[in-house]
Amino acid sequence: MSAPVIELRGLRYAWPGAGHDCLAIDALSLDAGSTLFLHGPSGCGKSTLLGLLAGVLLAREGTVSLLGTPWSAWLGARRDGVRADHVGYIFQQFNLLPYLSVLDNVLLPCRLSSLRRERAVQRSGSVHEAAHRLLRDIGLPRGHWQRAASQLSVGQQQRVAAARALIGQPDLVIADEPTSALDAALRIDFMDLLLGECRAAGRALVFVSHDERLAGLFDRRLSLPHVNRALVEGPATEGAVS
């Protein structure tokens, strides 16, 4: 049997200088093709957990493994390479490169990862066709594709960030509040695209949102405060528990 896409054991993480753990989670795993809705009040550690799943942050104790290997086993540039190959990340602030065109932003993962490039070619015939297909699917008019990313509206940038995360079918797709700038109609299309792409390609999806109406679309729903022991051990979070 193949290893889970993500497996977390005895995780503890503290931000430098914080003096207490932000996260303490005993176990969590996610298999290929499964989708997880992660929620909890502001400040409970959702984005921090996503950073650990993506190997951007490293556990203080315990392990976070991607496809059976702990992130800590890969050093420096190798870790960045593994992330480029296997993780598509839709950031809360999109993190598009503002001076690059929309199309070049979407193509970026295929320039950074030969595995993503090969998968895109296999699926669509060429990396450009893969990017065009995703841009069509997110409903971005063709006239916008050569524009600098900074010239798009916030909702358009959010959709381009999704296309960039999905190109080349990474094993793990992480989405941090990806629908916050979308109206109701666009949100439905966006969710169809994101879930459809991940399910069709058998990829794992971790999706953070405060919009609990979306939870029913996912295989699993996880309240972070229910599994994060650091919240009872350390300082309280802001806002009400959901």
Ligand X SMILES: Nc1ncnc2c1ncn2[C@@H]1O[C@H](COP(=O)(O)OP(=O)(O)OP(=O)(O)O)[C@@H](O)[C@H]1O
Q: Which stretch binds ligand X (CB under 6 A): 40-48, 132-140, 141-149, 156-164?
A: 40-48
- The answer to the question of residue 46 lying near ligand X (CB under 6 A) is yes
Provide the 3-class DSSP secondary structure of residue 213: helix
Q: Which stretch binds ligand X (CB under 6 A): 39-47, 80-88, 115-123, 212-220?
A: 39-47
The yes or no reply on residue 39 touching ligand X (CB under 6 A) is no
220 Cβ neighbours under 8 A, 6+ residues apart: 34, 35, 36, 37
Q: Could you tell me the end-to-end alpha-carbon distance of the chain, in angstroms, rounded to an integer? A: 36
If one asks whether residue 70 binds ligand X (CB under 6 A), the answer comes out as no
Considering the rule CB under 6 A, would residue 48 count as an interface residue with ligand X? yes
Nearer to ligand X (CB atom), residue 25 or residue 103: 25
Q: Could you give the 3-state DSSP secondary structure of residue 149? A: helix
In the complex, least distance from residue 132 CB atom to ligand X, rounded to whole angstroms: 33
Measured from the Cβ of residue 81, the count of other Cβ atoms closer than 10 Å reads 15
* Of 57, 1, 53, nearest in space to 29 by CA: 53
Q: How many residues bind ligand X (CB under 6 A)?
A: 11
Is residue 44 near ligand X by the rule CB under 6 A? yes
14 belongs to the binding site for ligand X (CB under 6 A): no
Say which residue the tokens 């929620």 belong to: 39
Nearest residue (CB) to ligand X, 35 versus 48: 48
Contact predicate 220/35, CB 8 Å: yes
Instruction: Beginning with the edge strand found earlier in the chain, give each strand of the sheet holding 35-39 in spatial order.
Output: 87-90, 172-176, 204-208, 35-39, 220-223
Sign of CA dihedral 199, 71, 233, 239: negative
Using CB under 6 A as the binding rule, whether residue 151 contacts ligand X is answered as: no
Q: Would you count residue 93 as binding ligand X (CB under 6 A)? A: no
Please report whether residue 187 would count as binding ligand X according to CB under 6 A: no
Cβ nearer to ligand X, comparing 1 with 232:
232
Contacts with ligand X by CB under 6 A lie at 15, 18, 22, 40, 42-48
